[in-house]
Amino acid sequence: MPKILFLSPSQDDFLAATILHGLRDLQGPDVLDFPRYDCMYEDYPKEKLNLQHGRGFTLFGRLADPWPDRKARKGPPDPRDYNLTIFSDIWNQTSLFLDLLPRLNVRKTAIVDGSDDPALVPHAGFWFRRPTAWTRLRVLRKFRTWKREWTPRSRPNAWHRLIPRVLLPLLPRPRHLRRISFGIPEDRVLKVIPDKTKEFPAHIVDDEVRALLGVGSGRHVFEQEEDYHNDLRASRFGITMKRSGWDCLRHYEIAANGAVPCFRNLEKKPETCAPHGLTPANSLGYLSGSDLVQITRGMGEGEYRRLQTGALEWARQHSTRAVASHLLREALGQP
């Protein structure tokens, strides 16, 4: 039997995709995703892949399926048959969690929270309107949870809402929370730094920067994945920022293609919240568009090379394999 049961999300999810890709890289067929996470596999239709978030670039449609007969199963496998059961998207898997709860071993269960909302299940408003579910789901605080958007607001209770936000960081951190982030496939991280032919890529998410530079688009402009990556490889800098949440696959794509990530308001990101490890040694934090333009135009080649090398190393340290290995080490204590 496979050693790991990966309970798949019902939609495209970059954190779930990161973990499954990394687990398959580490464990091969010893990982069973159930139900089959179709968009991760090579046979997923291209026209459907283009409908996924970000057109499915970088993470989706890359895996060969070692378990083609899984569709014959009538229901979820029994967690007691596995060394580890992973709920890959707890916000949308609460009913499944409650159904399987009598068969779950706390030490052999990993809860993954990839939501952009810093609140914990069941302490967001959605569950307060469903008191029966909220009461039953309070048991989640007994299970280790790997949360991407972990901020001072991430508390396993309701009363913290009465505390002023400035005081929340002074409270003890929830003991059941663990850090996790998106990752990028190792083969997407360049081994050789490419020649750069322009300053910024075609996709610039910061409206102010785009207006100041007079170039770029705020929308996805590429139909083909290779065109997107080649554009980043040709660019010295890549622009990124907090959108719905702090973490975004774009951070890793910029760094992996040998560009320097320029991250608006990076210093405001909580230390526990992904992305982890972005520092002045591998990225540029900026406060405004004019601030960024001034920094980049005045940067010497030696300083740029230092940041570029640091960014590539950061991307290597945040491969899907590294993210999955981190989860396994904390969940099972394996190397």
Give pLDDT, residue 1: 55
Q: How far apart are the C-alpha atoms of 102 and 198, rounded to whole Å?
A: 57
Q: Which residues contact 300 (CB under 8 A, 6 or more apart)?
A: none
Residue 36 pLDDT greater than 70, yes or no? yes
267 in the same domain as 174? no
pLDDT of residue 335: 42
Region 229-242: what's the mean pLDDT? 97
Do residue 11 and residue 133 come from a single domain? yes
143 and 191 co-located in one domain: no
Amino acid 266 reads L
CATH number at residue 305: 3.40.50
pLDDT one-digit tens code per residue, 163-205: 888 888 888 899 999 999 999 999 999 998 889 999 999 999 9
How many other C-beta atoms can be found within 10 angstroms of the C-beta atom of residue 165?
Answer: 11
Residue appearing with tokens 């991430």? 154
Q: What is the mean predicted confidence (pLDDT) over 301-306?
A: 96
- Whether residues 62 and 191 fall in one domain: no
Q: Quick one: 8 and 157 in the same domain?
A: yes
Note the Cα 179 to chain centre separation in Å: 11
In the block, residue with structure tokens 């039953």: 136
Range of the domain at 250: 186-317
pLDDT at residue number 25: 95
DSSP 8-class letter at 168: G
Half-sphere exposure of 20 (CA within 13 A, CB side): 32
**Whether 174 and 42 share a structural domain:** yes
Question: What pLDDT does residue 334 have?
Answer: 56
Residue 118 sits in the same domain as residue 150: yes
What local confidence, expressed as pLDDT, does residue 133 receive? 76
Secondary structure E strands in the chain: 4-7, 31-34, 84-87, 109-113, 145-147, 177-179, 237-240, 260-264, 284-286
**Is it the case that residue 221 has pLDDT exceeding 50?**
yes
pLDDT at 138 over 60: yes
Higher pLDDT, 334 or 62: 62
Peptide bond into 9 cis (omega under 30): no
Do 199 and 294 fall within a single domain? yes
pLDDT at position 275 is 98
Same domain? For 199 and 140 the reply is no
Q: How crowded is the C-beta side of 230, counted as CA atoms within 13 Å?
A: 7
Q: Which residue has the higher pLDDT, 273 or 219?
A: 273
Q: Which tens digit of pLDDT belongs to each residue from 91-104? A: 999 999 999 999 99
- 257 or 156: whose pLDDT is higher? 257
Average pLDDT for 15-30: 96
Q: Domain tally for the chain?
A: 2
Average pLDDT taken over every residue of the chain: 92
Q: Which pLDDT score, from 0 to 100, does residue 49 have?
A: 87
Q: What is the pLDDT of residue 300?
A: 95
pLDDT tens digits along 63-117: 999 987 776 667 789 999 999 999 999 999 999 999 999 999 999 999 999 999 9
The residue type found at 57 is F
Q: How high is the pLDDT of residue 168? A: 83
Q: Provide the pLDDT for residue 72.
A: 65
* C-alpha dist (Å) from residue 116 to 42, 75, 265, 278: 28, 29, 17, 19
> What is the reported pTM?
0.94
Q: Are residue 290 and residue 162 in the same domain, yes or no?
A: no
- Whole-number pLDDT of residue 299: 94
| Distance from C-alpha of 218 to C-alpha of 188, rounded to nearest angstrom | 23
Average pLDDT over residues 293-304: 94
Q: Residues for the chain: how many in total?
A: 335
For residue 287, the SS3 value is coil
Q: What is the reported pLDDT for 141?
A: 93
304 and 214, same structural domain?
Answer: yes
Peptide bond into 152 cis (omega under 30): no
**What is the distance between the alpha carbons of residues 193 and 50, in angstroms, rounded to a whole number?**
29
Do both 178 and 225 map to the same domain? no
pLDDT band of residue 160 (cuts 50, 70, 90) is confident
